[in-house]
Each structure stands twice: as C-alpha cells, then as structure tokens.
Amino acid sequence: MTIRFAAATIHTTGEDVDDHSVSSESDSDYAEEDNNFEDWVSDQAQNQSCRSLFEDKAFPSAAAARAHDKDVHNFDLRTISAKLELDLHQRIRLINFIRKHAPTPEDIGNLTGAETFFSSDEYLIPQIEDDPLLQLEMNDWSDDEDLSSTDQRPAPPADLPSALRQMQLLERKLAQAHRDMAEYRSLVGQQFDAGRFAEIINEPGPSSAGPSPRDDDTHYFSSYCENDIHAVMIQDKVRTSTYASFILTNPILFRDAVVLDVGCGTGILSLLAAKSGAKHVYAVDASDIAEKAEQIVKANGLENVITVIRGKVEEISLPDDVEHVDIIISEWMGYALLYESMLDSVLQARDRFLKPEGGVMAPSQCRIMFGLCEGSEILKERIGFWSDVYGFDLSVMANDVYEEAIVDVVGPESLASEPYLLKDLHLKDITTRQLDFTSQFTLVSTTPKRTKIHAFVLYFDTFFTTTGEPVSPEVPVRVTKEGDVTLAEVWPVGGKAPPQRRASTGPGLKQKEDKRVTSFSTGPCSQPTHWKQTIFLLRDPIHAEDGMLHIPTQNLDGAGSMNAGTIVTGSFYCKKSATNSRELDVEIHYSVRQNAETTAVGETVVQIYKVR
C-alpha cells in the first residue's frame, strides 16, 4: 500500500505576484475564519498532556515536553528539523521513528536526512494516539520568545507593495501547512484505527512477497481419509494376501522384532505383524485414517503391542527412546510404481530408523517392467469414442488423451512383446535421487501376425525376502491366477478360519526362511490388482511384423535363427513433476526397425506424458 501527500515545500523566490491579487482585508478575514478550527486544534494540542521523546514521562503540554527534552537531553526538535531541512511529513516520520525505536539523542543527532525511514509510509502512523507533537502546526514548532537574533528572517520590506507581496507569500506558505496537517489528520483518522492501519502498512506487498510455498501433500493425505480407498486396497487379494503370506509364513523373522509400518492406513499390516509375534509395532500415518487405525487396534485387543503415531514419518520420533527397528514394512507402491512418491518417505524412514546391520525392508525389491501393447480396445474406448457421439464429431476431446498416461487393465492377449526390465529398485540401498531415472530399452514384437501396436504398457513386480538381499534375476515373479490356493489360505471368506500351521523352530526353518522369496506381479498376465497397468498411447501406431517367424542365420556354431519381429528401441525418461512432486513426467523416445534383417531404422519419435 502506498500513501501519497502533496509536497509541503513552498518556493518563495522567483514568483511573479500580480498586484491585483494581493490579499485584501476581506481575503484576510476569510482566511482567518477558515483557519479558526485549525488554530483551535493547535491550541488544544498545546494544552494536552505530552510524553517526552526520550523517557516515559508525561508533561502538561507539548511545549513543556519539548523544553524538558531540550534541557535534560540537549535535544531540540526544531533545531534538528532545521538542520536536516525536514518538511512536515519528514518531521512526523522523525517523531514516530523516535517513539517506536527509542534511539538516544546522540543517535538522532547523527542523522543525515537520507535515512530510509524519512520516506517510509510506516512512520506516518502515530505511535501514540493523538500525539500532541504531531498536532502542532508549523508555526508552533518554536515559540516567539525562543527566536534568537541568529534565526534567518526576511529583510524588512522597502515599500508597501513589497510588504504586501511578502505577506501574501507567507500566507500561502501557512495555508499549505494547514492543508498538509489537515490531510494527514484525515488520513490517520479515517475508517480504520491506527493499529489496523499499522497492520495494513506492514503487510508485504506484491513486490516483496515471495511465492506461496507449494503444498503437494494436503490433497494426497486427505485422499486417504475415506473408507472407499482402503476397501479397494484390502480387497485387492493379490496385494493383501502376498503381504499376509510374507508376514505369517516367516515367524522367525517377526518373532520379538520391533516393526515400523510406514503409511499404515487401517493398520492391517501392523495387525498381521503383531499376530506373527512382533514384540512391538509402530504404525505411522499422516492422514486422519490414523484415528480409525487406533480404534481398530483397540478393538482387536492389541494396544499393548501396536502404537499408532499420527504424523509424517520424516518428522516423527519413536516413543520409548526407540532409535532403531528390525523391520520396516510398507505398502508404498503407486501407479507406475513411483506415482505419489511415497517411496521417498519410506527411504527416509529407512535412513532414520532401520538398524544398520540385519535390518529388513519389506518389500525388499521392485522391478519396473515395460513392453509393447496392442491396445486396440483402449484406443477405441479412450479415442475412438469421441468421433461419433450421438452423431456428432467430438474428436477434439481426444487430443489431450495422448498426453496422459492411462491407468487401466489390459489382458495378456494384448501383450505384443516380452517384457523389458526398465528399473530394478533394491530398497536396501537405493536413494531418492535415483528415483528419477533414464533407461534404454529394446522390445521385439511377438505378435502371431502383422499387427498395429497402439501403446506401450508398464507394470511392476514386487519381491519380499527375509534377508533384504536382492533377488537373483533368474528367480521368476509369482504370477497369481484366479483361484490360486494362496488366496484361499490367507484370506478366508464366509467366516471360515484359515488353515492352522504347527509352529516350528530351529536352524532348518531359518534356512528355509532365508531362501524363501515371496512376490507378486501387477502385469497383464496376473490377476488384476488395484494398480492395474499404466498405458502410454501412441499417436501413430507401430506396424509390427509377424513375430512368430524366425529368420535363418549363420553363426560360428553353424545354422541358427532369430526372431523376425519388429524391433523397437529407445529411451524411457521418468522424473517427478515440476508442478506436483506426487506426479510423474515421462518421456518416451523410440524408433522402429522392421526386423532383425534390415538395417534401416525409422525416425525417432518422442512423446511426453503425465502420470497423475
């Protein structure tokens, strides 16, 4: 906010005053009547109690306060104002500056007049309500008896016209001072009080205020407050039964362990850990669901084993002076694995709380898989639909679809290549910086006939081990099918109790646990999960050759053959979005070679996507 006043300086030289405009007696009378109220206000100010500028002592009038400051503190307001050539507004600022900051008289004596507060609107605000020193007119700054022979006075007029001109100039100067003071009083006495006016002045303006800090977390955490999202996750049998299988079939790992559940939600994983023999479980969640998790823990009689902590895992401390935990368990995976960026929080929890030697991350490893997808059904649903809507062409609506990754389920028959490993994440040692990545890929079509390929498909495989060590590339992921025994075993329905296993111990069981790998896939060949698959539609389809044919080749070992399918090579770029760190920006650069026999490579195509 900027407040401007008319300039108070009056130039007294070089003015051409018309003799016919010289103040007449009637004009003087009018001016006198016009200023009577201001004179009364000035008189009131002189008779009002006034505080010293340099000590908390009140005096019966402004004149008495000024005299005290001059005698005791050797400070004369009129002298310093004249020395610095201050106008009315600068004098007001000086008084308010002294009232606010309480400098010493010596500090004020060292001022040069160039200080920034002399031009700051902040110091036009009275520090004392109805401060008498601020209500004095220009001719009140010194008493007549205080004037000395050294004061500069205009030379006596030589004749009557000169005297009249000098009187007119003085009257103009005085009238301007009256107007300035009236305008200032009107300003500070308008519709808001001085305190509120100070707040407004001190509010940062557009030029000084920085951008508001971006909040990527509020919506994210609030989205996990509702029941529906937790019902979807728990009812995802592939997800929940795999976690349950890992926890319940590895009793040696969990027995007497201290467990940290990051992003606990309803607390289902914490309940399973407690059932598997954990000594204590700390369940952490930053959303309101933590309140329900605490109620669930009590409802199951596990409040002595499970402690629910509401807050961000980056900011909380574990109670009971616990510094390290034996196991960190978390279901942090999002669409395309990394959407929502919850893995960042899990890795920070690892660095803060997981014991350095022997600590286990569950899951311990995730692989991002990538492949060609025929995708005609997705294309029809998301693009073709718009071309004929009740006989109207709305195809313009389809343009943006190519810029957004699609989260949907595609069947195994839509796969047009073997999957390619884009990124292998070992949770034991990966860093948050490595979550933005670039990967080269080569995909060979395996379609049984010439096919138009309309999309790339991305999914992830997840692995659990009791040691936290990486899984050998030769170990296949478990692809869960509808009706698999695992689902029935650990997810009983209809009130039936799960099969009871006889608890056993000993080195043999420990060795079995160490070798056991629990895993699940979110790919098209598995029973669908709530993560589905992530599909990147292509603006221009890839025309793939029959991938089932094999071309004869000659190598060092004699005759051989190679797949005749179309070869797609390129680069996959993935990073957190600059506008929302919970989202992903993906770039796919690719080129096509019709088959292994040809050397001609098509142009490089680049498509950019948002995963959100």
- Quote the CA–CA distance of 413 and 256 in Å, as a whole number: 46
Q: What is the DSSP letter of 8?
A: -
The rounded distance, in Å, linking the Cα atoms of 388 and 395 is 8
Query: Percentage helix, strand, coil, to 5, in the chain?
Result: 35, 20, 40
Check 38, 294, 331, 545 and give the catalytic one. 331
DSSP assignment of 239-286, as one string? HHHHHHHHHHT-HHHHTT-EEEEET-TTSHHHHHHHHTT-SEEEEEES
Q: How far apart are CA 2 and CA 177, in angstroms?
A: 22
Per DSSP, the residues of 278-341 read -SEEEEEESSTHHHHHHHHHHHTT-TTTEEEEES-TTT---STT---BSEEE----BTTBTTT-
From 38, 294, 340, 374, active-site residue: 340
Question: What does the alpha-carbon distance between residue 576 and residue 568 come to, in Å, rounded to a whole number?
Answer: 26
Asked whether 99 and 53 are in contact (CB, 8 A), the reply is yes
Whether the upstream peptide bond of residue 132 has omega within 30° of 0, thus cis, is no
Distance, in Å, from the CA atom of 220 to the CA atom of 149, rounded to the nearest integer, reads: 79
Q: Which helix (H) or strand (E) holds 609?
A: strand 605-611
Structure tokens belonging to residue 206:
């557009």
What is the phi/psi pair of residue 71, to 5°? Answer: -75, -45
| CA 139 – CA 520 distance, rounded (Å) | 91
Q: How many CA atoms lie within 13 A of 467 on its CB side?
A: 11
The H-or-E segment that residue 379 falls in is: helix 376-382
Q: Residue 170: in which H helix or E strand, if any?
A: helix 160-188
| Active-site residue flag, 340 | yes
Active site residue 199: no
The two tokens of residue 147 are 């004037």
CA nearest neighbour of 567 among 549, 531, 536, 591? 591
For residues 84 and 605, give the distance between their C-alpha atoms in angstroms, rounded to a whole number: 72
Strands 258-262 and 280-285: parallel
Distance CA 8, CA 542 (A): 79
CA distance 488 to 476: 22
Contacts of 408 (CB under 8 A, 6+ apart): 378, 532, 533, 535
Enzyme catalytic residues:
331, 340
